Chain A
Amino acid sequence: GQSLEQPSEVTAVEGAIVQINCTYQTSGFYGLSWYQQHDGGAPTFLSYNALDGLEETGRFSSFLSRSDSYGYLLLQELQMKDSASYFCAVRDYSGGYQKVTFGTGTKLQVIP
């Protein structure tokens, strides 16, 4: 089966940089995604890494190391609106189908 680990909570200061790590165990790995979810809202897609390396999208970057089964989401120039939960999710192949399995989420609190 699959398992993903990420910290449950992170606190960072407005304007700073924060890194949220994710380690995973799965067979048939295709890629790692990141989602943002504000309280009471729906998860929204942030990024996807299928290959090793860093992908940058504005203030957000995502990194993957397939050999280490590890990835992270980097948020720069933190803003108060970045306070939310962040989920890593693996896209993998098992039981004859591709699926997306989510981690338990990291609650990010941005403080002034």
Chain B
Amino acid sequence: DADVTQTPRNRITKTGKRIMLECSQTKGHDRMYWYRQDPGLGLRLIYYSFDVKDINKGEISDGYSVSRQAQAKFSLSLESAIPNQTALYFCATSERLNTGELFFGEGSRLTVL
């Protein structure tokens, strides 16, 4: 089983719908992240959480919200999806950043029509 699991892996939805992407991890890491990937733009940080009570906005948080339900779970919500939120979304975890290493889930591909 994967250490970082994302659900759903693929989702097609319509403009205006509420969408939740879920991430769970078995690595025991305190730190969790949501990134968005678009062709030619690399990975951009949406939100990050250093523990259950510590949640912070990344560089592109507008239109998104998150919930850290437990150490192992970090969900990303799009309250009212729009087409330019069509992208590949990655959840990642890290223990500490001394090694600069993030552990990524397999990604959730979201299409907003």
A interface vs B, CB < 8 Å?
Answer: 1, 8, 30-33, 35, 41-45, 48, 50, 87, 89, 91, 95, 97-105
Interface stretch, picked from B20-28, B74-82, B99-107, is B99-107
Interface stretch, picked from B11-19, B39-47, B62-70, is B39-47
Inter-subunit contact A97/B41 (CB<8 Å): no
> When chains A and B are docked, how far (Å) is the Cα of A87 from the Cα of B102?
13
Inter-subunit contact B100/A32 (CB<8 Å): yes
B interface vs A, CB < 8 Å?
Answer: 33, 35, 40-45, 48, 50, 56, 58-59, 90, 94, 97, 99-107
> When chains A and B are docked, how far (Å) is the Cα of A45 from the Cα of B98?
13
**A44: chain B residues within 8 A (beta carbon):** 104
Identify the interface centre among A31, A43, A95: most chain B CB within 10 Å of its CB.
Answer: A43
Select from chain B the residue with minimum beta-carbon distance to A4: B42
**B106: chain A residues within 8 A (beta carbon):** 41-42
Inter-subunit contact B56/A97 (CB<8 Å): yes
Could you tell me the distance in whole angstroms from the C-beta of B73 to the nearest C-beta in chain A?
Answer: 18
> When chains A and B are docked, how far (Å) is the Cα of A108 from the Cα of B108?
24
**A42: chain B residues within 8 A (beta carbon):** 90, 104-107
> When chains A and B are docked, how far (Å) is the Cα of A45 from the Cα of B100?
9
Could you tell me the distance in whole angstroms from the C-beta of A103 to the nearest C-beta in chain B?
Answer: 6
> When chains A and B are docked, how far (Å) is the Cα of A46 from the Cα of B103?
11
Can you identify 10 A-B contacts, CB atoms within 8 angstroms?
A42-B90, A45-B103, A48-B101, A87-B43, A89-B43, A99-B58, A100-B33, A102-B35, A102-B42, A102-B43
Inter-subunit contact A99/B45 (CB<8 Å): yes
**B97: chain A residues within 8 A (beta carbon):** 30, 91, 98, 100
